[in-house]
Each structure stands twice: as structure tokens, then as C-alpha cells.
A = this chain, B = another copy of it.
Amino acid sequence: MFSKSCKYGIKATLYIAQKSQHDERVSLKEIADAINSPIAFTAKILQILAKATIINSTKGPNGGFEIDKVQLSKISIHQIVEAIDGNRLFDGCVLGLNSCNAKEPCPMHSEFVIIRKQLSETLATSNLLDVALDLNLGLTVLKR
């Protein structure tokens, strides 16, 4: 479903979100520890997310990553997926045809209209604040 990069990206963003809620800026190392990911590779993904203005990065001592607290409820998982994996999951033909639409569909097209709508909506209506709250309560986890 999601690439490995994207999974790391989502988990990293959620961890940053959780900490940002309490005004804590977190370092690359702390993030990689928290989500059990390779540190240097995680750095690359965080760069992508920073360029997409989903997270903020600060260099230097006490630098690290954070998300504007008031933005938490306005950022969706959909945005993260788009930034890292692009939108072929939402747009592209399930069977990989170059073009595929209602008029000239692949054999799976119609079956996937509903599934993708649900997927897209679920990801679009999710938001970092809600997810961070569950993390705080220990209802969900980011590694294991």
C-alpha cells in the first residue's frame, strides 16, 4: 500500500506531532529511536516533509523538528502520503495502465472506485492532532 519511505514518514510526523503538542522540538536521533527507523534514511524523508512545509526543521544546537501547534488539526495523513509517494495510489490505474478512466477502464477500475474513495477520504479527514492524542493516551503505538 505505502512505500517503506512513506511508512517512516507517517510515523515520524506523528511522533513530531505528539511532541509538538507539548511544545517539544525533537531531534532526528530521537525520532529514529521512537519509530525504529534507520537514522540517515529518516533524515532524507524528513527533508522531503520539511520542503513540503508539513514539518519545520531547525539547524544547530537544540535544533530539530516540530510542527506549528495550531496547524496540527489541519494536517492530514493524506498530505504526508502525497508528499512522499505522490498520488498514484489515489490516481493511477490499479493495474498500471497508462490511462484508465470510466470511459476506457481496466477490468478492475469500477471495483476500485469505492475502495479508493474510502481510502482517500479516510486519509484526508484524518488529522495529526487526533492521532497524537491517542498516542498520548497510550492507545496506539509507533513501534514494536
Question: Interface size on A (CB < 8 Å)?
Answer: 39
Looking at A19-27, A62-70, A96-104, the stretch in contact with chain B turns out to be: A96-104
Known contacts A108-B10, A122-B115; decide if A97 and B141 are in contact (CB<8 Å). yes
Known: A104-B141, A107-B140, A144-B104. A1 touches B89 (CB 8 A): yes
State A107–B118 Cα separation when bound (angstroms). Answer: 18
Q: A118 — which chain B residues lie within 8 A by C-beta?
A: 114-115, 118
Q: Which residues of A contact B (CB under 8 A)?
A: 1-2, 4, 7, 10-11, 14, 77, 89, 94-100, 104-109, 111-112, 114-115, 118-119, 122, 126, 131, 134-135, 139-144
